[in-house]
Amino acid sequence: MGMWGLRVHIFAFLCFGLGLSACAPQKSSPIIGTCKNRVSTVYSRLSERSYCTTTTTHASPVTITGTATFESRAYTPSSGLGAIGAPKPIRYAEVVAYSPEGNIVQCTETDTSGNFSLQMPTSSDTYSLHVYSRGDNASVKASVLNCPEENAPYSISATVTPDVTKSVGTINADADNAGELLGAAFNIYDQIVQANDFFRAEVGTCAFTGCNAFTVAPKVQIYWEKGFNPNSYFDSSSGLSFYLPSYRKLYILGGIDGDIYNSDTDHFDNSVILHEYGHFIEDVYTDTDSPGGSHSGNSIIDPRLAWGEGWGNFIQAAIRNEAKYRDTDGTPNASNPASTSMYIFNIPLETTAATCVTNPNKSGCDIPIFAAEGNFREFSVARMLWDVFDSASNADSASDDPIENAFAELWTALTWSSGFLNTNAAFRNIGLLHDTQASKISGSSDWSSLRTAHKQDGNTEYARYVTATGSCTKEFAMTPFDDPSNDNGSFATSHRVENNDFLHYHHSGGVFTLTMKALTDNPAGVKADLDLYLYNSNARYGNSSDIVKSSDNYADNNAATEQTETFTIPNLAAGNYLINVKVYTGINQSNSGYHPAGDPLTYELIANGVNLCTTTLP
């Protein structure tokens, strides 16, 4: 996955936010492999060939049968990828027979065992059979292609003289690094087949009201080439696999600068492949507000990003039925050149790693401390979702994890018009999942113990919905976290959970005056210094381009006066906005900020003269 494995699709979401024309520069460069003139991730010089579904009737036909298989490499317990494993069937894939002149004479598909059978015209000439790395049927709709500029699927082939009914035997895509490595292309394809099987098994039928029963996912194109790093499209040498939202394209890392032995590759890293496919599923079945950005699995991040990455970390484990998120570097090879494999990361989802005690900055060690902090940490999200999915026998502790096999509830919340597809929703994160599951899904199970164990909650700390009713006083409260050794008062060092409130407000358009009135609760009469920010729907914390307006005056430390922050926008466009109230905890200077020392405080928000009050999302 590259220099930083958990940054699996940072460029994809940055491109989604900025527009692909800015992120995918038009250029030509020499590339290892067949695609010599790459341009951009979204440029297509040639369209993908139409999928062959026509069955042709021939006079006096003969039946030609065969079996298609592929080789791959599996994870080892402690040392990355292992040796080449036993061949597996290529399932539900396109099979095409060609005449000596290159004309299509018959089409079919492999079955669940990789077997195929087709009728061909009787002839003494030599015909060819190709099994392609794609399927377009009731089981899977996916193509593994070389590059978007050419859109060519991979294939394994055999020749046959159809003079009598016969078998061509087994056609195999090998995983030998020295060859074409076609097993890699078919392994990627098989992961998509496996993912579709998983969703059909879990929610092919779904008893909950609002649940979108799964049949087969829409078409996805996956680009991979031996030795090619998709991040080179962005002029970067660090290895990267990613998904392009809306374009329905996955890019899987095939190596770096042609090196598949001693560099990062992802074509056998099924965790990575399925993580990226999980983003595709999220894109086409539910809705996401992730702003993208860096994520390392060891810190508090934007809850929308934590949700998207936590979902990807979880769903790959659920599909593989293994509570691990894994990425490897290097591929075992005995000689010429000699190489080994190692884990870039090997993160447990059932429990946190024992090394997190001594190394809390390690990937996967983003362990929440405060209530609702788990909403801001991607592996807290992933572990909570795993506990929803797994069986009681796999649970770390029955008292902490009494929920089992509840994927249908999760899927309902994600695909229901009263859940993530609610048109009134914005700033989606795991808090919306909890709110939907707890209060809207009829017959849902009780996840309260999971929320407690993983320090998660509904949208109490991020995107709590507020509206102007005037019927509340002292509606908002927080107990700031005093962290003078780390917090210098900047956005980068401010504790997003303890020293910030984030409120979702829908404005109908027109003049907008927002006032924050801080109420002194400290017995000594010392007031915290609160600042007020309004963000647009992108709402990247501290990003000036997303801050619509702000008021950040210093508190006067006078107990006799109320601290207020206020601003007016003459004509604010209708839409969803994020109100951020931030405690300034900068260096203690007289009348210019101080450490709040953990004292509780309350404040009021007034929009156009009317108090804002918390309520449920419409």
DSSP letters, 379-396, are HHHHHHHHHHHS-GGG-S
Predicted local confidence at residue 481, as pLDDT:
84
* Position with higher pLDDT, 259 vs 391: 259
The stretch 90-113 carries a mean pLDDT of 98
pLDDT in tens, 141-192: 999 999 999 999 999 999 999 999 999 999 999 999 888 999 999 999 999 9
Residue 6 CB neighbours (<10 A): 24
Cis peptide, bond prior to residue 245, ω within 30 of zero: no
Predicted local confidence at residue 108, as pLDDT:
98
The crossing angle, in degrees rounded to 10, of helices 270-285 and 303-320 is: 120
Phi, psi dihedral angles at 510 (to 5 degrees): 105, -165
**d(C-alpha 84, C-alpha 56), whole Å:** 38
Predicted local confidence at residue 377, as pLDDT:
97
Closest CA to 588 of 557, 558, 562, 566: 557
**DSSP assigned state of 407:** H
CA 121 to chain centre: 48
Closest CA to 125 of 158, 97, 160: 160
User: At residue 8, does pLDDT exceed 50?
Assistant: no
The domain made up of 464-614 has a fold known as Jelly Rolls (2.60.120)
Residue 612 CB neighbours (<10 A): 24
**d(C-alpha 58, C-alpha 220), whole Å:** 34
CA 96 to chain centre: 35
Please name the residues in contact with 99: beta carbons below 8 A apart, sequence gap of 6 or more.
105, 125, 127
Predicted local confidence at residue 518, as pLDDT:
86
The helix (H) or strand (E) run that includes residue 31 is none
User: At residue 397, does pLDDT exceed 50?
Assistant: no
Cβ atoms of residues 354 and 423 within 8 Å: no
User: Which pair of tokens denotes residue 383?
Assistant: 């572990």
The crossing angle, in degrees rounded to 10, of helices 407-415 and 270-285 is: 50
Closest CA to 440 of 180, 215, 618, 560: 618
pLDDT tier for residue 512 given thresholds of 50, 70 and 90: very high
From residue 361, alpha-carbon distances to 76, 300, 385 in Å are 25, 11, 22
**d(C-alpha 569, C-alpha 572), whole Å:** 6
How high does pLDDT run on average in the chain? Answer: 90
pLDDT tier for residue 394 given thresholds of 50, 70 and 90: low
The region of weakest confidence among 15-19, 111-115, 257-261, 534-538 is 15-19
The region of weakest confidence among 19-28, 31-40, 125-134, 380-389 is 19-28
pTM: 0.92
Phi, psi dihedral angles at 233 (to 5 degrees): -60, -25
pLDDT in tens, 359-387: 988 999 999 999 999 999 999 999 999 99
SS3 of residue 374 by DSSP: helix
Beta-bridge partner residues of 327 = 345
The region of weakest confidence among 130-139, 295-304, 472-481, 530-539 is 472-481
Secondary structure of 244-272 in HEC code, one letter for each residue: ECCCCEEECCCCECCECCCCCCCCCCHHH
pLDDT tier for residue 524 given thresholds of 50, 70 and 90: low
Residues belonging to the chain: 618
**d(C-alpha 465, C-alpha 238), whole Å:** 40
Cβ atoms of residues 292 and 14 within 8 Å: yes
Cβ atoms of residues 237 and 256 within 8 Å: yes
The helix (H) or strand (E) run that includes residue 151 is none
**d(C-alpha 431, C-alpha 467), whole Å:** 18
- End-to-end, the C-alpha distance of the chain in Å comes to 41
**d(C-alpha 12, C-alpha 245), whole Å:** 7
**d(C-alpha 449, C-alpha 471), whole Å:** 33
User: At residue 207, does pLDDT exceed 50?
Assistant: yes
Closest CA to 144 of 250, 263, 9: 250
Cβ atoms of residues 295 and 301 within 8 Å: yes
Do the strands 547-551 and 529-535 form a parallel or antiparallel pair, or are they unpaired?
antiparallel
Do the strands 249-251 and 242-244 form a parallel or antiparallel pair, or are they unpaired?
antiparallel
DSSP structure string for 87-142? -EE--S-EEEEE-TTS-EEEEEE--TTSEEEEEEE--SS-EEEEEESEEESSS-EE
**d(C-alpha 126, C-alpha 160), whole Å:** 6
The stretch 588-617 carries a mean pLDDT of 78
Predicted local confidence at residue 438, as pLDDT:
96
User: At residue 485, does pLDDT exceed 80?
Assistant: no
Cβ atoms of residues 428 and 288 within 8 Å: yes
pLDDT in tens, 421-463: 999 999 999 999 999 999 999 999 999 999 999 999 999 999 9
The stretch 128-134 carries a mean pLDDT of 98
Predicted local confidence at residue 596, as pLDDT:
58
Predicted local confidence at residue 3, as pLDDT:
29
Phi, psi dihedral angles at 123 (to 5 degrees): -160, 155
Predicted local confidence at residue 201, as pLDDT:
98
Sorted by where each begins, the domain ranges of the chain are 464-614
The stretch 237-250 carries a mean pLDDT of 95
User: At residue 95, does pLDDT exceed 60?
Assistant: yes
Using left for φ > 0, alpha for ψ between -120 and 50, and beta otherwise, residue 516 falls in beta
CA 501 to chain centre: 25
Predicted local confidence at residue 562, as pLDDT:
78
Predicted local confidence at residue 486, as pLDDT:
79
User: Which pair of tokens denotes residue 5?
Assistant: 């494995």
Please name the residues in contact with 383: beta carbons below 8 A apart, sequence gap of 6 or more.
349, 350, 352, 454
* Residue 357 CB burial class (10 angstroms; 0-12, 13-18, ≥19): exposed
**d(C-alpha 187, C-alpha 209), whole Å:** 36
**d(C-alpha 456, C-alpha 70), whole Å:** 43
